[in-house]
Amino acid sequence: MKITPAACGFKPACQLGVFLLFLLLMAGCNHFARQRPAAHSAKENTVTADEKIPAPPVAKKVPHVFEEHGHRRVDNYHWLRDDSRKNPQVLDYLKAENDYYEANMATTGDLRQRLYDEIVARISQEDQSVPYRLGDYYYYRRYNTGQEYPVYARKRGSLDAPEEMLVDMNERASGHSYFQSNNQSISHDHNLLAFSEDTVGRRQYNIRFKDLRSGELLPDVIENTTGALEWAKDNKTVFYVRKHPVTLLPYRVYRHKLGTPVNEDTLVYEEKDNTFYTSLGSTRSRDYLTIHSASTTNSEVRLLDASQPEGEFQVFLPREKDHEYSIEQLGDDFYVLTNWQAKNFRVMKTDLKHAADKSQWQEVIPHDEDVLIYDIEANRDFLAIEQRENGIRQIRLLDWNTGKSTLLPSDENACTMHIGYNPDQGSDVIRYHYTSLTTPASVYDYNTATGEKTLMKQDKVLGQFSPDDYASQRLYVKVRDGELVPVSLVFRKGPKPLRERPLLVYGYGSYGHSVDPSFSSARLSLLDRGFVYAIAHVRGSQAKGRRWYEDGKLLKKKNTFNDFVDVTQGLVRAGLGDPKRVYAWGGSAGGLLMGAVVNQAPALYHGVIADVPFVDVVTTMLDEDIPLTTGEFDEWGNPKEKIYYDYMLSYSPYDQVSAQPYPNMLVTTGLHDSQVQYWEPAKWVAKLRDMKTDHNLLMLRTNMHAGHGGASGRFQHYKETADDYAFLLKLARPQPKPWTQKKPD
């Protein structure tokens, strides 16, 4: 029942002929600084002599003592924390850092503008998602030329019918320096629209309602929510999730009846365990509303008949230690995706009567040590399974009638597929998203009865783009403990050897999130200037199944950092980049990765971008008032237990800053970030600047009007992308303009 965005564009790694089909390089445990030819000297300055280098800001030191487990830590920059975000001294410091950034990047002004213009020029100004049918209507979103935000619209009965505009987010965003809507929900009778709005960047959404018959906004406004909302079948009752006012933890589910005071809404569920997050949903049949409570290792689902909004949510299966599950309904049957006795998950079937008794569940898809199941969708004639096998995310279909299992076809050896939005459980057609490192995001409809695959949409790349001009590769690097880490690689074809090109390695490696290689039209601006781009699928992700995740969390977290360093070394040894021009990039938990990597192997990288980095691990995980802290004890550990405190302290980037040379670094943050508070990167930069022994660039760029995701809007965030690219190009100094391969006559 959602007006969901069209193809998001999650994409893969594609293999290139016989080129590097399997890279087996022992990275070893030696420090790469001793192996590199021409490592950067401690006092090397990458800025040319004709550039005037302004003096960097110097943060004052105000010692603040933390004591835990008999251990004493002194934080000289704790004063930079200001929860109100109004302290003049703090704001002045952040502004001084921004001024310093602009002064250092002044010589790239033309390049930054040129990069932005290039990136935007590749994007089709007029764009529309693939419509989906819900009841008598076809729903879609579209973009108008020059506008930053989408227009949501629909047509009744036929795509040839007149358009009915539901909400223009450009109008809603007017007058705000930041705007984001993460949910738009239509009522069962299609007469009312609910939509969310965040105008700060803290991911605290207000929910508004619009009567689509009159075009008027209703007076009901629900504040401080996750943005999620579900309609009951009476078309006047809605359910939503509020966030804790301090920790921002989603923890309470309320029932609201339109036209009644919001402060009189009924609390229907409160999560008492602050290590759990609470979310709201519905089954695809729209017969049931669901409350999903989940921690990193546990989950629990509650159900309510959508036609009985005054009823009580009933637990499907009570939470159990280390048991994660989700449900999919088809008629009277419920299909359970569960890791019960199945590390990589399996699929079981039950009914509501026996839901709480796992011994009565029937196995549908058994556990497979080599296949990780992500998601399922149950249709009348088939079950769709989104899975990962051999590191590749794909979709498999199980025919209920014949028992035949079919893997959706691909034109490439390596790709990524995701199940799309399929509200009709009786349809023979499944919609899915497809992409690769060289193939733009695509939406397909696959007819399960005929086997016919129809391309519904592929993102346009304007200009002279041709996928044949680029090569992608999936390879493996053997790291210090013998594991083989997958790597996805892409570059532009051309005569210049890869060993003479700048190499950019990207990584994340936490929460089981796998950065499946995706096509990026913006990234072409780096590839066309000679960059080799690699994604290191390090442990902490699920690139090789659930074990790969568990081997990169808690007391095994350092595997993530070691993998990234060893992969970088392996790529350089294989001649896949210029040893003098190696760069690294990561954001959020990937920013933690960057922080750990520059402490461990600073001479390996010429430059590093750390976006919104989670770097003050110990202090943050000890403070349960900071958003996200309590919900992540199963990911990082609880430092109130000494074993976790000691381990965290041994890798926490902020705590491990030392008097040594560091690479050129660009660190970014958002003043209103609710995921990683701005003071973590701000303190980190201040400490680095005080202790590092080199003259390399160290810059902090703070978006004073945004949060974790940076600038909002379709084009505005590309200004930050252009700035990031300009930083890399300033250091790498490859071709000043994109080079193209001469095509044969």
Catalytic residue among 588, 652, 674, 712: 588
The strand pair at 314-315 and 192-197 is best described as unpaired
DSSP state of 675: S
CA dist 515 and 488 (Å) reads 10
Q: Is position 708 annotated as part of the catalytic site?
A: yes
Asked whether the beta carbons of 399 and 447 are under 8 A apart, the reply is no
CA dist 568 and 506 (Å) reads 10
**621-655 burial string, b = 16+ CB within 10 Å, else e?**
bbebebbbbbbbbebbbbbeeeebbebbbebbbbb
DSSP H or E run through 668: strand 664-670
Count, residues in the chain: 745
Helix axes 109-121, 717-732, angle to 10 degrees: 130
- φ, ψ for residue 680, nearest 5 deg: -65, -60
Residue 590: CB partners within 8 Å, gap ≥ 6? 506, 507, 508, 509, 510, 611, 613
The strand pair at 582-587 and 325-330 is best described as unpaired
CA dist 412 and 490 (Å) reads 14
CA-to-CA dists, residue 67 to 479, 614, 684, angstroms: 37, 21, 20
Is 80 strand, coil or helix?
helix
> In one letter, which amino acid is 232?
A
CA dist 415 and 657 (Å) reads 39
Residue 200: CB partners within 8 Å, gap ≥ 6? 178, 672, 707
Q: Is position 588 annotated as part of the catalytic site?
A: yes
Asked whether the beta carbons of 325 and 317 are under 8 A apart, the reply is yes
Is 566 strand, coil or helix?
helix
Catalytic residue among 459, 551, 708, 724: 708
Q: Is position 673 annotated as part of the catalytic site?
A: yes
Is the sign of the CA dihedral 227, 169, 518, 576 positive or negative? Answer: negative
Structure tokens at 415: 């790709």
The strand pair at 362-365 and 288-294 is best described as unpaired
CA dist 304 and 493 (Å) reads 56
> Which of 741, 570, 732 is closest to 663 using CA atoms?
732
CA dist 404 and 244 (Å) reads 48
Q: Which residues are part of the catalytic machinery?
A: 588, 673, 708
